[in-house]
Amino acid sequence: MAQFQEEMLSTHIYEASFVAHMLGAIACDVFNEDINPDRVAAMAIFHEGSEIAGMSDIPSPVKYHDPETTAAIKNARASL
């Protein structure tokens, strides 16, 4: 199963940015949204930045378990 395979960070970032750019282009070209696909791709490239500072991916059930936990995580990320 794919979720149990080790993934290279570079592959993950490439795939995330590629999909993000495609979705941005679709939003712009098909739905006439005021979206810059290049900016969306750049955001995807840097979406792992919080992990560099020690904030690894936190599973959604933990992140949103209660309002206090959610607020604490947001505050921690904002201070990075």
pLDDT tens, 26-70? 999 999 999 999 999 999 998 877 666 666 677 788 888 899 988
- Containing domain of residue 36, as a range? 8-78
- The whole-number pLDDT of residue 54 equals 60
Which sign, positive or negative, has the C-alpha torsion 59, 64, 68, 72? Answer: positive
The verdict on residue 14 lying in a domain is yes
Identify whether the C-beta of residue 53 lies closer than 8 Å to the C-beta of residue 80. Answer: yes
When mean pLDDT is compared across 2-6, 22-26, 36-40, 75-79, the lowest value belongs to 2-6
Cβ(20)–Cβ(41) under 8 Å? yes
Rounded Cα gap, residues 51 and 58, in angstroms = 10
Q: Is residue 48 part of a domain?
A: yes
Q: What is the SS3 string spanning 10-55?
A: HHHHHHHHHHHHHHHHHHHHCCCCCCCHHHHHHHHHCCCHHHHCCC
Instruction: Say yes or no to pLDDT of 1 above 60.
Output: no
- Classify residue 29: in a domain, yes or no: yes
- Give the pLDDT band (50/70/90) at residue 79: confident
Task: Report yes or no on whether pTM surpasses 0.85.
Answer: no
